[in-house]
Amino acid sequence: MTYQAAAGDVRPVPDSASGPANERSAVIDLDAIRHNVRHVAAVASPAKVMAVVKADAYGHGAVPVARAALEAGARWLGVAHISEALALRAAGIEAPLLAWLHTPESNFSAAVAAGIDIGCSGWELDKIVLAAREQERPARVHLKVDTGLGRNGATLEAWDSLVGEAMEYQDEGLLRVVGIFSHLAVADEPHRPETDEQLKAFREVLAIAEDAGVDPEVRHLANTPATLSRPDTHFDLVRVGLGIYGLSPFEGQTPAELGLRPAMTVRTKVSHCKDVPAGQGVSYGLNYHTAGASTLGLIPMGYADGVPRVATGGPVRVEGRNYPVVGRIAMDQMVIDLGPRGVASGGASVLGAEAVLFGDGADGGPTADDWARAAGTINYEIVTRISPRVPRHYINEGQAEGQGGAG
């Protein structure tokens, strides 16, 4: 038997009082989530919004984000794994819910039993039908076609026969083809022609399916960038992940320019502040040396918290200024160079000061995009990899069932 630690197993109990006083936390603003969902829903209308909450809602917390997204008008939820969908059902979430990435080990029976819609790229069909027979309940299936991404989805060559087989099973009452979908490859680069080609291919496969008698509730193609830049890709439903979290999928366009508000702020407290002489080497490898006598601030987060080790130079905001991380980022900690302060002789220490790695970027504060640049990656990865070691703290939770209104 393999032992898999649940995320909750490794979450530390906050040492200090709950709330923003925590030693370190990822603060998730559920009002920002709701704002972003409403904004995306207005852009997509009359198409409906599927809030994509895979990977623990890109690190934001699947259950609270799913609830906030549904409150704000998302009609569907989307995840990659059936196990992620089952966790949402276990939390009492009953909205239409699609899971699209499977292995032969996936629990299709549990998905059918829980009324989870199942993405099907081909081989899954027999497993899904087996599960439906077992559960004596028709499965809800979204057929997935590869229109050019070259990842999951049936090839165009296999589409005819997949649709034909699915319809035979539908006639037998074993499943219902609820949706037809595909995924875009380059929608974040709106000038590229491949999106047009994928759209054309998608229209063709829809026509084939309709000729075969498929009458889907939802046809869906658009991710966040396509939702924001290509109304012709909206069809009946848009699958929005990144935009729900308030981040921009486009190089050179800020969330604010897109009407979005970043929902996650990662912050901690400075855990040491000391004067050092000129030439002080900093952190493993001694790759950085102070230019002159200087004061170093120790930031108690590192790669075990999900800060990429390669992201030296990433900004940390302390007392209204952004300081680049100097030297190597370690497992638990990293260092900023504050310049000479003379704390030993009464200069201002920043011990215990609030240190923000990234947030909504207001007032020149650092952003997930800044860290993405420092790490040579994308904002998706920065927020998603913030580890379970960092407690999530929710603000603006609103009127949750069974609780008083926290505002």
Ligand X SMILES: *Cc1c(COP(=O)(O)O)cnc(C)c1O
Residue numbers at the binding site for ligand X (CB under 6 A):
52, 54, 100, 183, 223-224, 239-242, 249
State the nearest-atom distance from the C-beta of 53 to ligand X, in Å.
10
Q: How far apart are CA 273 and CA 121, in angstroms?
A: 55
- Strand-pairing partners, residue 6, are none
The single-letter DSSP state of residue 250 is S
Question: Quick count: other Cβ atoms within 10 Å of Cβ 242?
Answer: 25
Can 54 be counted among the known catalytic residues? yes
* Pick 231 or 279: Cβ nearer ligand X: 231
Beta strands per DSSP E along 234-289: 237-240, 264-269, 272-276, 281-282, 288-289
Q: Which residue is nearest to ligand X (CB)?
A: 241
Q: Do 296 and 336 contact (CB within 8 A), yes or no?
A: yes
**What length does the chain have?**
407
Compute the least distance from the CB of residue 107 to ligand X, in Å.
Answer: 20
Task: Please confirm, yes or no, whether 303 is among the known catalytic residues.
Answer: no
To ligand X, the closest distance from the beta carbon of 273 in angstroms equals 39
Q: Is 264 helix (H, G, I), strand (E, B) or coil?
A: strand
Distance, CA of 117 to CA of 106 (rounded, Å): 13
Q: Which of 58, 200, 284, 380 is catalytic?
A: 284
Closest CB to ligand X among residues 52, 301: 52
Distances (CA, A) of 262 to 22, 49, 209: 20, 18, 39
Q: How far apart are CA 123 and CA 196, in angstroms?
A: 28
DSSP state of 170: H
Give the CA-trace dihedral at 336, 373, 58, 255, to 10 degrees: 110
Contact (Cβ atoms closer than 8 angstroms) between residue 267 and residue 359: yes
Other C-beta atoms within 10 Å of 299: how many? 24
Angstrom distance (rounded) from CA 297 to CA 274 = 7
On the CB side of 172, how many CA atoms lie within 13 Å of its CA?
15
Q: How many CB atoms lie within 10 A of CB 88?
A: 22
3-state secondary structure of 48: strand
Rg (CA), the chain: 24
DSSP-assigned beta bridge partners for residue 393: 27
From the candidates 3, 48, 54, 245, give the one annotated as an active-site residue.
54
Scanning the structure block, which residue is given the tokens 């209104």?
A: 405
Catalytic residues: 54, 284
